[in-house]
Amino acid sequence: MEKKRLKKYVNEKENVFLLDIICFEYILLEFKELIEWIYAPEDEFLQKRARAIAARHKLVESLQSDEFDYKGIREIVEYDKTVEEHNIEQLSAKLLFDLTRNTGFEVSKGTLGECWIKSCCEWDQRQEDDICGLDYDRLSVFDKMKRIYVGSSLKLQIPKVGLEVMA
């Protein structure tokens, strides 16, 4: 019912568009370079969060192949035993938070880490032992946004509604 009303409202407006995007968290989860940005190759979190990394890979793979029965995939169930209680947005938010927590890329409801919104190493609270995958390939905030656009479904969805991105 809500979806019908939303579509009706959108059709009545010239400057409102519906994009086929699951949720904000999923856009970051599907971003091809996510793991390489968050973790340096020698980062201990790569091993500690191996189940979350595997669950992310399987979730993105299944949704990109239009297989929406992600709740039965072994890697996802091993990561989240209560997956039946979550919708895709909740699962995406939980998974993204677990992957990014205690990093400059942390994402939680209401919080977007400094490393997403600032050029590399402009993070005021950065500690000496804070490392990430961008330590050797420091990017401006514009370059980060451009790579997220190119490496996610945003590149396909935004042009569908007639919008242009100058990337």
Q: Which pLDDT does position 123 carry in this prediction?
A: 67
Split at pLDDT 50, 70, 90, the class of 110 is: confident
- Stretch 3-9: mean pLDDT: 86
Looking at residue 139, the DSSP 8-state letter turns out to be -
Q: Which pLDDT does position 56 carry in this prediction?
A: 96
Q: Which pLDDT does position 165 carry in this prediction?
A: 76
Q: Which pLDDT does position 37 carry in this prediction?
A: 95
The answer to whether residue 114 sits within a structural domain is: yes
The answer to whether residue 13 sits within a structural domain is: no
Q: Which pLDDT does position 132 carry in this prediction?
A: 87
The answer to whether residue 121 sits within a structural domain is: yes
- Stretch 97-112: mean pLDDT: 92
The answer to whether residue 100 sits within a structural domain is: yes
112-132: per-residue pLDDT in tens? 999 999 998 876 777 777 788
Q: Which pLDDT does position 30 carry in this prediction?
A: 96
Structural domains in the chain (count):
1
Residue 20's φ and ψ, nearest 5 degrees, are -85, 75
The DSSP-derived string for 3-50 is HHHHHHHHHH-SS--------HHHHHHH-TTHHHHHS-TT-THHHHTH
Q: Which pLDDT does position 3 carry in this prediction?
A: 77
- Stretch 11-19: mean pLDDT: 85
Q: What percentage of the chain reaches a pLDDT higher than 70?
A: 97
The answer to whether residue 6 sits within a structural domain is: no
46-88: per-residue pLDDT in tens? 999 999 999 999 999 998 888 778 888 889 999 999 888 989 9
State which residues form the domain around 54. Answer: 21-160
The answer to whether residue 48 sits within a structural domain is: yes
The answer to whether residue 113 sits within a structural domain is: yes
Q: Which pLDDT does position 105 carry in this prediction?
A: 94
Strand, helix or coil for residue 130: coil
The answer to whether residue 141 sits within a structural domain is: yes
* Rounded CA separation 45/50 (Å): 8
Split at pLDDT 50, 70, 90, the class of 167 is: low
Residue 149 has pLDDT above 90, yes or no: yes
